[in-house]
């Protein structure tokens, strides 16, 4: 057995934190590497030692093999855990670790080389007799060849990066006219994300389930599968909700898929944790999709239903130990659900969001787990993935886990960047999810291109007014000497109305708060009247009885005017216009094209004087490793272009002006 003492995690965010916690529990020292912008990130705070490896961009830091290996040498790290993403499936990195005598906690180089390349992996699986989706995985990468092969396969097709995953470098193409553009975008995105523009083309299996099998192998050749995960709920080919076991799985199908996954692993002499992903169609037929030669983001649901710590297994296998369990010992108990909390705006097509985290409250309780990479006061930057945390719940039944997840999300507040918390709560209540019938078409079928949140209600506005009033009274009380709390809200001239004004959409809503007794208020919102009683207050939450019904709000005040609020279904930010000067109206109309998020402006596809048509691509922005097309909102002409391609641009920055036709 090989002795390992110091583990360097070549990653960041929640996975780095999660790996370090198991490593510390096993007695290992931990080392964090970080970019300049991550100098005070949570994974750095958690580590025993930390080393800066470069500037913020991924290519200059977390993808710098030499800098990471130098950090290992300087800190005495004798093993490296790559996490997921970044260099986790990079054969050159694994080979460099081996050359330095550092244990790479992952599979052998040869397995990464084959399985890390989707084209080679698919060829290997066909040779091994594993069912595969029809497609093209050849070496000829000319656009004309890819187009011709797609036509042979028959539309719709998936255009996919051969060297990576996570939805990057992937496009679903329904029309032949869209194919060349999709190939161009996928090649560019793949090159930027993985360093390779190689693509494969596959027949699109419409409305399948995305079901993956967790496999594990030790250095003695023992290989097992630890059940499956259903990861069907995705947007932009990135997983949003995962669960174990799959709602439609049968023992017979699990065994068949599990054995196929084990055969896939054995075909490349696999060692360590791996995931074999399949598409499962309505008829119960399954097809090999890809093998991820690393720990998956969604591994916690497998841990919850098996009782095993998969990172501990990885470290034990790296030390040369046999697998902690044999196939006949592995059983599944209960049900687990995981959701990914993303800094993104579901109301604008799930565009990534950035900024300082004003408040992040995490749920607690039996059967609730949170794997987070941020805390209150941290910042979400445009340089990395938009996921900030994973919430995992466990129950004896799927319904127990679902209800617990809904409750856990309602107990969560993330103020600052826009995020998908409210969207996830809504997902938990959709009939299709409740029944376990969701496929990869779930988000498109239920939400289309964007999620429309619930409207701010009159009761919410009344509660906001009362909460701001109470917080102001608390502040006054803390700044006053020897004032009895019973005198709060009392004035000698009788009842005084506290007037507030909130903008909701295009409407200004006047809210009148009238104290009746300490903590009791009559609140008018336009023509609606409400009776409110404050029943509980803590640092970040307040419980109110609103018209006889109990409502709990998480809150965060900012300056005297702004209040962040989260109810059990809606997060909102309200500003009291009576406390701030009115904001200037936007001078420009619909012809003003601004950046929807912070990122790099990859291209500007038009010039001043050009005619444009509605829906035409006019620029491409890259943010959080994904490319986003900006399109013309109508027919017209380009008046002026203010931005420069290749430069970083901030959210709201002006890109160009269009003159739109009436």
- pLDDT exceeds 60 at position 587: no
- pLDDT exceeds 60 at position 581: no
Which numeric CATH code is attached to 458-575?
A: 3.30.700.30
Spatial neighbors of 457 by CB under 8 A, at least 6 apart, are: none
Give how far Cα 271 sits from Cα of 106, 268, 330, 374, Å. 7, 9, 18, 31
- pLDDT exceeds 50 at position 324: yes
Determine what percent of the chain is predicted with pLDDT higher than 90: 72
Residue environment code for 250-279, b if the CB has 16+ CB neighbours within 10 A, otherwise e: eeebbeebbebbbbbbebbebbbbbbbbbb
179-194 helix and 143-153 helix, angle to the nearest 10 degrees: 120
Say how far apart CA 15 and CA 34 lie, in whole Å: 13
Query: To which H or E segment does residue 171 belong?
Result: strand 170-173
Q: Would you state the pLDDT for residue 423?
A: 98
* Overall residue count recorded for the chain in this entry: 662
Q: How confident is the model at residue 319 (pLDDT cuts 50, 70, 90)?
A: very high
* SS3 assignment, position 486: helix
Segment 303-308 shows an average pLDDT of 98
Query: To which H or E segment does residue 188 belong?
Result: helix 179-194
Say how far apart CA 485 and CA 625 lie, in whole Å: 53
Please list the helix, strand and coil fractions of the chain in percent, rounded to the nearest 5, in that order: 30, 35, 40
- pLDDT exceeds 50 at position 583: no
Domains 6-105 and 212-222+251-447 share a fold: no
CATH topology for the 6-105 domain: Rossmann fold (3.40.50)
The answer to which of 8-22, 188-202, 645-659 has the lowest mean pLDDT is 645-659
- pLDDT exceeds 80 at position 483: no
Of 56, 15, 290, give the one whose Cα is nearest residue 23. Answer: 15
Say how far apart CA 148 and CA 347 lie, in whole Å: 38
The four Cα atoms 23, 25, 31, 34 give a dihedral, to 10 degrees, of: 80
* pLDDT tens digits for range 494-547: 578 999 999 888 888 999 999 999 899 999 999 999 999 999 999 899 999 999
CATH class held by domain 592-660:
mainly beta
- 482 or 206: which leads in pLDDT: 206
- pLDDT exceeds 90 at position 116: no
* pLDDT tens digits for range 244-266: 999 999 999 999 999 999 999 99
Determine what percent of the chain is predicted with pLDDT higher than 70: 94
Q: Would you state the pLDDT for residue 236?
A: 80
Peptide bond into 156 cis (omega under 30): yes
Q: Would you state the pLDDT for residue 484?
A: 60
8 Å CB contact between 470 and 519: yes
8 Å CB contact between 640 and 607: no
- pLDDT exceeds 80 at position 166: no
Please list the alpha-helical segments (H only) found in 370-524. Answer: 398-410, 421-428, 431-434, 442-447, 458-479
The domain ranges of the chain are 6-105, 134-203, 212-222+251-447, 458-575, 592-660
Q: Would you state the pLDDT for residue 247?
A: 97
* pLDDT tens digits for range 430-459: 999 999 999 999 999 999 989 999 999 999
Q: Would you state the pLDDT for residue 192?
A: 84
- Give the number of C-alpha atoms closer than 13 A to the C-alpha of residue 200, restricted to the C-beta side: 23
Q: Would you state the pLDDT for residue 493?
A: 52
Q: Would you state the pLDDT for residue 589?
A: 43
* Burial label, 462 (beta-carbon count in 10 A; 0-12, 13-18, 19+): buried
- For the annotated catalytic residues, the residue numbers are 294
Question: Of 1.20.1630.10, 3.30.470.20, 3.10.129.10, 1.10.540.10, which CATH number belongs to 212-222+251-447?
Answer: 3.30.470.20
Segment 398-422 shows an average pLDDT of 97
In this structure, what are the phi and psi dihedrals at residue 131, rounded to the nearest 5 degrees? -60, 130
Question: Token match 């272009």: residue?
Answer: 641
- How high does pLDDT run on average in the chain? 91
Q: Would you state the pLDDT for residue 482?
A: 54
Domain with residues 134-203, CATH architecture? 2-Layer Sandwich (3.30)
8 Å CB contact between 104 and 9: no
Q: Would you state the pLDDT for residue 194?
A: 81
Q: Would you state the pLDDT for residue 340?
A: 98
Q: Would you state the pLDDT for residue 627?
A: 78
- pLDDT exceeds 90 at position 57: yes
- pLDDT exceeds 50 at position 353: yes
Q: How confident is the model at residue 193 (pLDDT cuts 50, 70, 90)?
A: confident
Q: Would you state the pLDDT for residue 649?
A: 80
pTM, 2 dp: 0.83
- 226 or 133: which leads in pLDDT: 226
Please list the alpha-helical segments (H only) found in 319-457. Answer: 398-410, 421-428, 431-434, 442-447
8 Å CB contact between 255 and 263: no
- pLDDT exceeds 50 at position 586: no
* pLDDT tens digits for range 77-100: 999 999 999 999 999 999 999 999
Q: Would you state the pLDDT for residue 463?
A: 98
- pLDDT exceeds 50 at position 640: yes
Q: How confident is the model at residue 102 (pLDDT cuts 50, 70, 90)?
A: very high
- pLDDT exceeds 70 at position 590: no
């Amino acid at each position: 057995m090989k002795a390992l003492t110091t583990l360097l995690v070549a990653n960041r965010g929640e996975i780095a934190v999660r790996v370090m916690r198991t490593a510390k529990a096993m007695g290992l020292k931990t080392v964090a590497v970080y970019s300049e912008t991550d100098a005070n990130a949570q994974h750095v705070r958690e580590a025993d030692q930390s080393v800066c490896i470069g500037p913020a961009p991924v290519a200059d830091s977390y993808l710098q093999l030499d800098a990471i290996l130098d950090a290992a040498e300087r800190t005495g790290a004798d093993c490296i855990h790559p996490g997921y993403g970044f260099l986790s499936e990079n054969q050159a990195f694994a080979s460099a670790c081996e050359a330095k005598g550092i244990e790479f906690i992952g599979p052998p180089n040869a397995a990464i080389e084959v399985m890390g390349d989707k084209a080679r992996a698919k060829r290997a699986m066909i040779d091994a007799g594993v069912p595969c989706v029809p497609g093209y995985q050849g070496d000829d990468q000319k656009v004309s060849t890819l187009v011709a092969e797609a036509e042979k396969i028959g539309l719709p097709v998936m255009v996919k990066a051969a060297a990576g995953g996570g939805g990057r470098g992937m496009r679903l193409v329904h029309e032949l006219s869209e194919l060349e553009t999709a190939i161009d975008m996928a090649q560019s995105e793949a090159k930027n994300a993985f360093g390779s523009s190689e693509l494969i083309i596959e027949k699109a299996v419409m409305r399948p389930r995305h079901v993956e099998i967790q496999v594990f192998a030790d250095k003695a050749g023992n290989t097992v599968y630890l059940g499956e995960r259903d990861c069907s709920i995705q947007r932009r080919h990135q997983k949003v909700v995962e669960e174990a076991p799959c709602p439609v799985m049968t023992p017979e199908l699990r065994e068949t898929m599990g054995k196929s996954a084990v055969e896939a692993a054995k075909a490349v002499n696999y060692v360590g944790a791996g995931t074999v992903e399949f598409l499962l169609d309505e008829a119960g037929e399954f097809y090999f999709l890809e093998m991820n030669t690393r720990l998956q983001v969604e591994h916690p649901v497998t841990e919850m239903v098996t009782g095993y710590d998969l990172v501990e297994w990885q470290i034990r296998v790296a030390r040369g130990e046999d697998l902690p369990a044999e196939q006949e010992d592995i059983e599944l108990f209960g049900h687990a659900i995981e959701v990914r909390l993303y800094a993104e705006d579901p109301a604008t097509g799930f565009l990534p969001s950035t900024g300082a985290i004003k408040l992040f409250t995490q749920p607690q309780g039996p059967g609730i787990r949170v794997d987070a990479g941020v805390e209150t006061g941290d910042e979400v930057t445009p340089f990395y993935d938009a996921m900030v945390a994973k919430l995992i719940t466990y129950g004896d039944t799927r319904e127990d886990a679902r209800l617990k997840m809904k409750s856990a999300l309602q107990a969560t507040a993330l103020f600052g960047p826009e995020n998908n918390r409210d969207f996830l709560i809504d997902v938990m209540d959709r009939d299709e999810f409740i029944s376990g019938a969701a496929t990869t078409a779930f988000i498109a079928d239920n939400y289309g291109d964007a999620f429309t949140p619930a409207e701010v209600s009159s009761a919410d506005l009344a509660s906001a007014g009362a909460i701001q009033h109470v917080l102001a009274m608390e502040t006054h009380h803390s700044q006053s000497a020897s004032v009895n709390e019973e005198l709060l809200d009392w004035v000698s001239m009788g009842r005084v109305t506290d007037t507030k004004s909130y903008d909701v959409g295009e409407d200004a809503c006047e809210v009148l708060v009238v104290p009746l007794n300490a903590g009791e208020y009559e609140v008018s919102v336009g023509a609606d009247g409400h009776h409110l009683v404050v029943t509980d207050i803590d640092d970040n939450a307040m419980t109110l009885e609103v018209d006889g019904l109990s409502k709990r709000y998480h809150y965060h005040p900012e300056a005297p005017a702004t209040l962040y609020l989260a109810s059990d279904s809606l997060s909102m930010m309200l500003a009291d216009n009576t406390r701030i000067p009115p904001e200037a109206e936007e001078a420009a109309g619909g012809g003003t094209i601004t950046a929807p998020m912070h990122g790099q402006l990859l291209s500007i596809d038009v010039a001043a004087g050009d005619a444009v048509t509605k829906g035409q691509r006019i620029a491409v922005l890259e943010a959080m490793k994904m490319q986003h097309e900006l399109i013309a909102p109508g027919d017209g002409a380009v008046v002026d272009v203010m931005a420069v391609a290749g430069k970083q641009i901030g959210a709201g920055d002006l890109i160009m002006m269009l003159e739109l036709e009436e």
